[in-house]
Chains A and B, each alone.
Chain A
Amino acid sequence: MIDIGFMDAKREEKIKLVSFLGAVSLFLSAIDYMIPRPMPFVRLGLANLSILLAIKLLEPRYVFLVVLLKVLGQGLIQGSMFSYVFLFSLTGSFASGFVMIFLYRMVERWITLVGIGLMGALTSNIVQVVLARFIVFGKSAWYILPPFLIMGSISGFLLGGVAEVFWRRSKWVKYVKTRL
């Protein structure tokens, strides 16, 4: 039998929440993948909704677990698990995770999920273009940076808005907060 005696109730709740948010991001990745896109790399980034909620609800190490689950789920759904695209996704997601957590911890009282989501999207896009510059496409990768940033900002802003509204109104969020 697995000894879970060392796990106190709160820790267990947090781990449950991490796995739930991971599952949500897997589901959202599938939805995201269904939506037709103008360019191959452009994504709405719906799966990041669970990361935004995780940032508000959990400590950084749990947030990174959610990020890892999101990346794995996305790789699984999009079939990019064993290609260089997966490396891009992994690096971009973790970099934006760092920035978003940092930002949230620094100016928690003066920022909403809108700003956090926007910065996260920007970070992930910049990191991925920089990787593309040095790994695959060479100097011409820079040409894709401005459109990437524009699309990323718009989707990050909107997703942040959705997350913020959800955060304020959801009964589920209120319920989860009482249990953590």
Chain B
Amino acid sequence: MKKKEPSIHILHSIVGKLKFFDYVTVVFAVLLVVVSSLYVYGSNRGVLYVHIKSFSREWILPLDGGERIIHVEGPLGVTEVEIDKSTVRIVKSPCKNKICVRSGAISRPGQWVACLPNRVIVSIEGRGPKEDYVDAVNF
């Protein structure tokens, strides 16, 4: 009647006989899991940049750098780009159709707004979760 549960017995005999480098590998494994988790999941909210390109100049500005308006010179006149609350939009444009203004605000990496007549391209760059993903996986 004093016989131990076999599973507990085996577990006990494993843990009881571990040697120094077994513990080293366990610590290593835990560290690896923690570091890789931090690296992989922690960097999702990386710094995003606004990249503005005109026919003569380029700007690279932080997306979260507070409110500011950039005046971009183009062949037709000045296009006003506004960065505010982590979004970017074109507020004023000298072009005829105003597609750029009506495209609204962008906020995620990879998105862009452009005013082709005035040759202004605004895009958001940086590492983010939506930058690169699998379309479909089949097993």
Interface residues of A (CB under 8 A from B): 40, 103, 107, 109-112, 114-116, 118-119, 122, 137-140, 142-143, 145-146, 149-150, 153, 157, 161, 164-165, 168
The verdict on A110 contacting B19 (CB below 8 Å), with A137-B134, A146-B33, A146-B40 known, is yes
CB-CB nearest in chain B for A111: B21
Interface of A is mostly: helix
The verdict on A145 contacting B36 (CB below 8 Å), with A107-B21, A111-B22, A115-B19 known, is yes
Interface residues of B (CB under 8 A from A): 10-11, 13-14, 17-26, 28-30, 32-33, 36-37, 39-41, 131-134, 137, 139
How far is B29's CA from A145's CA once the two chains are assembled, in angstroms?
A: 12
**Total A-B residue pairs with C-beta atoms closer than 8 Å?**
77
CB pair B20–A164 under 8 Å, yes or no, is: no
Contact of A138 among B19, B23, B134 (CB under 8 A): B134
How far is B13's CA from A103's CA once the two chains are assembled, in angstroms?
A: 22
CB pair B18–A112 under 8 Å, yes or no, is: yes
How far is B35's CA from A142's CA once the two chains are assembled, in angstroms?
A: 12
Contacts of B23 in A (CB 8 A): 115
How far is B132's CA from A63's CA once the two chains are assembled, in angstroms?
A: 40
The verdict on A112 contacting B19 (CB below 8 Å), with A138-B134, A149-B29 known, is yes
CB pair B36–A146 under 8 Å, yes or no, is: yes
Contact of A150 among B13, B14, B33, B133 (CB under 8 A): B33
